[in-house]
Each structure stands twice: as C-alpha cells, then as structure tokens.
C-alpha cells in the first residue's frame, strides 16, 4: 500500500511502505512563527511580564542567593526609539561569560537569556586582546553591555566575578570586576569585526555527521575570526583576530532534532533537504534572526553606537534579516567548504571512506567530504539561494 505524507499546502508525495507499519506521520509542530504567535497570545492573556526572572543559584560560598533583577536599563536604552521589527520587544541578557581555550586560541563563551523563547543562545566572542596581560589593544573590546551592567544595588564583587563580569585574566590572585561600559565607541582604523550567525546542528557538530557542513563551518568560522588582522596603516602591523559567533539554538533550520532525523530518512529515500522539510509539514527554513540581532547589539556589534560588522555566510537571508533589524553589515564573506578549496587528490585521505580525515568537522578538525554532503551543498545552492560557485564542486566529480 502506498505511504502518503500529507502536508497542508503541498501536494502529497507517495513512497512505498509495508502495510504493517504505523499510520502516516503528520507533523504536529507548527512553523516557528506560528508557534511564537501562539505563545504571545498566551502571554497577553495571562499578562505574563516580559522580564526574565530566573533565580541565581549559589556557586560560591560568599555569593548570596538572589532573584535576577529586571533587565538593566543600559540594555533597554540601547534600543532605537523607532523600530518596525521585533527589536523593540526582544531583550537579551548575558547571564554568564567564561574563558574557553580552543585549538584556535582563547575565546569567551557568553550565555544569553531572552524575552522571546526559553532557549540558552550563546555568543562565542573572539577577542584575545582582552585576555592579554601586556598589550593595550587599539581595537575596542567586544563586551556585553548587559553583562557589564550593575544588576542590583547590593551586587557584590563576588557576584560579578561569578557571572564573568571581569576584565583581563581571572586567576586565584587577580579578580578585577568590570564596570558598566560606555555606549559610544570612538572610531578606529581597525577593520570591522568578523561575525557568524550559526545555527545549532547536533549531528554535524557533536557526532561529526558528514550529511552537512555545519561542524566544519563552526570550526572554520572560529578559525577565520581568530586570524591576526593586518592593519592598513602598516604592512607589518597586526592585531589579534576579533569577532563573534552567535550560536542560535535553532536545530535543523528551526524544525528541531526529531523532525531533522525524520527528514534524514526522507532524504535517504530520495528527497532533498528542502523537500524533506516540506513533506514533514515544515517550511524549508523556519529560523529567525531577531535574537541574534539583539545579542549583536548587546555586544556593540553592528549597532548604531557600535562597530559595523563583516558577516561570514553564504546565505543571503541572514544579511537581509540583520539589515532589517537595523544592523550595519559592511560586507558578506563567503564560507567556502574546505574540500572545495583543497581539491587535489592528495588532500583527500585515501585511507578513510569518502575521503574523510580524522577529526573532521570537529573543532580543530580537518575537512569534510562525501556523497551526502555533496548533495546537501548542491541543494543549498540550487534550492535555497546560497551564494557558492557550484563550478568548484563540479570540478571534483
């Protein structure tokens, strides 16, 4: 008996299936925008305040138990007065920041809460000059306004250190709490920071799946942002690389891991990544970038008061979404798959299947290549409008 996947707007598609299997799958998960509308209606009805109120648990003996206060006025005040998009509503707060050593150098992981969803979105800030003990950087430090704000009158130095509101290095001997930062940034000759908006991909980033290029892209973004910056004023002068990866918890282009796993099975029976989403009752892409924009503003990146940004992406939607949010994107830089750039036979391992190299797609790993990935990349270009030269991949066939 034929198996029919029904979707509200699409004609049904038939594949073959045994009669002993369960009834056809119909996704009960509405597209993201509809879900958010529903959530807003419930909030309005129940008059739930749009502040973020989570308790701060004790982690240090000297830190007192406190409720998290409402968003600091500095963050709210940084929002433009006239807004047409969601930016007037969404507020973010950096709850904690810490140093993470990586194969590409030191990064600062920032964990954010927001007033739109209950996910913990992240910012990976690459600005090692802040960590350096000996240099006075000529570039403005990339810091979170909400993290550096004073959260309450009785906030102690220990509270601030615990949540990462410190400057320089944190050591057993050195603990220098940060101060609230000035909104304005003096203009500099330093090139605008590199920024990537990255969407969560458990399969690609955690278990090294080569169905997609997500793991490699995350690694490549951190690597690129960490590269020293050559200053135009002098051919030899460089400063440490600086920028940020905004890591959004929008697994599977916003459809969630369950649906993405089902979509992979649809891909194995012959559909591409776009059709698979649609057959499950989703849109090809259900992501939003309003939270990313709010986080960037909080970091002083792309906002009126901050620096403009250079965005690492092949996806024109991301550039448009940020510009619609009022952010200043000076330039788009492509994310060309490593295997496309490194086409010689010797560059592809002969020992591993499909040219896979050890550590591929993990942070600090090598390049990914394979039949599934090839299909995925092609579909992104041909059906999702991603800007990549397909001629490069064709030369590899």
Ligand X SMILES: Nc1nc2c(ncn2[C@@H]2O[C@H](COP(=O)(O)OP(=O)(O)OP(=O)(O)O)[C@@H](O)[C@H]2O)c(=O)[nH]1
Please indicate whether residue 35 is annotated as part of the active site: no
Which of 142, 229, 278, 335 binds ligand X (CB under 6 A)? It is: 335
27 is a contact residue toward ligand X (CB under 6 A): no
Query: Among residues 148, 159, 219, 285, which one is catalytic?
Result: 285
144 is a contact residue toward ligand X (CB under 6 A): no
91 is a contact residue toward ligand X (CB under 6 A): no
Please indicate whether residue 93 is annotated as part of the active site: no
114 is a contact residue toward ligand X (CB under 6 A): no
Which of 144, 146, 217, 339 binds ligand X (CB under 6 A)? It is: 217
Nearer CB in complex with ligand X: 160/253: 253
Which x/- pattern over 244-263 shows residues binding ligand X (rule: CB under 6 A)? ------xxxx-x----x--x
Which x/- pattern over 279-308 shows residues binding ligand X (rule: CB under 6 A)? ------------------------------
370 is a contact residue toward ligand X (CB under 6 A): no
Residue 335 CB, shortest distance to ligand X, in Å, is 5
**Which of these ranges, 26-34, 59-67, 193-201, 322-330, lies near ligand X under the rule CB under 6 A?**
193-201
214 is a contact residue toward ligand X (CB under 6 A): yes
127 is a contact residue toward ligand X (CB under 6 A): no
Query: Among residues 145, 160, 223, 287, which one is catalytic?
Result: 287
Nearer CB in complex with ligand X: 163/253: 253
Nearer CB in complex with ligand X: 120/304: 120
Which x/- pattern over 303-322 shows residues binding ligand X (rule: CB under 6 A)? ----------xxx--x----
Burial of 169 (0-12, 13-18, 19+ CB in 10 A): middle
Residue 341 CB, shortest distance to ligand X, in Å, is 15
- Would you tell me which residues interact with ligand X (CB under 6 A)? 199-201, 212, 214, 217, 250-253, 255, 260, 263, 273, 277, 313-315, 318, 335, 380, 386
Q: Kindly list the catalytic residues.
A: 285, 287
């Amino acid at each position: 008996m034929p198996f029919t996947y029904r979707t509200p707007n699409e004609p049904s598609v038939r594949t073959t299936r045994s009669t002993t299997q369960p009834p056809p799958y119909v996704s009960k998960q509405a597209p993201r925008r509809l879900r958010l509308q529903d959530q807003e209606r419930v909030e309005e009805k129940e008059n739930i305040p749009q502040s973020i109120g989570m308790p701060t648990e004790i982690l240090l003996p000297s830190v007192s138990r406190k409720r998290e206060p409402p968003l600091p006025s500095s963050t709210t005040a940084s929002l433009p007065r006239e807004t047409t998009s969601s930016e007037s509503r969404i507020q973010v707060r950096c709850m904690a920041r810490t140093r993470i050593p990586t194969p590409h150098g030191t990064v600062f992981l920032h964990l954010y809460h927001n007033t739109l969803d209950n996910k913990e979105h992240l910012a990976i800030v690459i600005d090692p000059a802040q960590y350096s003990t000996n240099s006075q950087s000529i570039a403005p430090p990339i810091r979170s306004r909400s993290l550096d704000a004073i959260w309450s009158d009785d906030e102690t130095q220990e509270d601030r250190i615990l949540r990462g509101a410190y400057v320089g290095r944190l050591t057993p001997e050195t603990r220098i709490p940060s101060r609230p930062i000035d909104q304005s940034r003096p203009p500099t000759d330093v090139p605008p920071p590199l920024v990537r908006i990255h969407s969560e991909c458990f399969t690609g980033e955690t278990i090294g799946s080569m169905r997609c290029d997500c793991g490699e892209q995350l690694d490549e973004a951190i690597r690129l942002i960490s590269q020293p910056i050559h200053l135009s004023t002098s051919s030899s002068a460089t400063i440490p690389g600086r920028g940020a990866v905004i890591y959004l918890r929008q697994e599977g282009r916003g459809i969630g891991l369950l649906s993405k796993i089902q979509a992979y099975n649809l891909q194995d029976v012959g559909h591409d990544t776009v059709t698979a989403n649609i057959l499950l009752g989703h849109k090809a892409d259900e992501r939003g970038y309003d939270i990313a924009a709010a986080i960037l503003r909080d970091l002083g990146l792309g906002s009126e008061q901050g620096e403009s940004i250079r965005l690492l992406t092949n996806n024109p939607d991301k550039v448009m979404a940020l510009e619609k949010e009022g952010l200043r994107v000076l330039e788009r830089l492509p994310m060309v798959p490593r295997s496309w750039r490194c086409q010689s036979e010797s560059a592809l391992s002969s020992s591993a299947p499909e040219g896979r190299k050890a550590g591929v797609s993990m942070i600090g790993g090598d390049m990914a290549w394979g039949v599934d990935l090839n299909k995925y990349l092609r579909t992104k270009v041909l059906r999702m409008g991603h800007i990549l030269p397909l001629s490069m991949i064709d030369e590899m066939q």
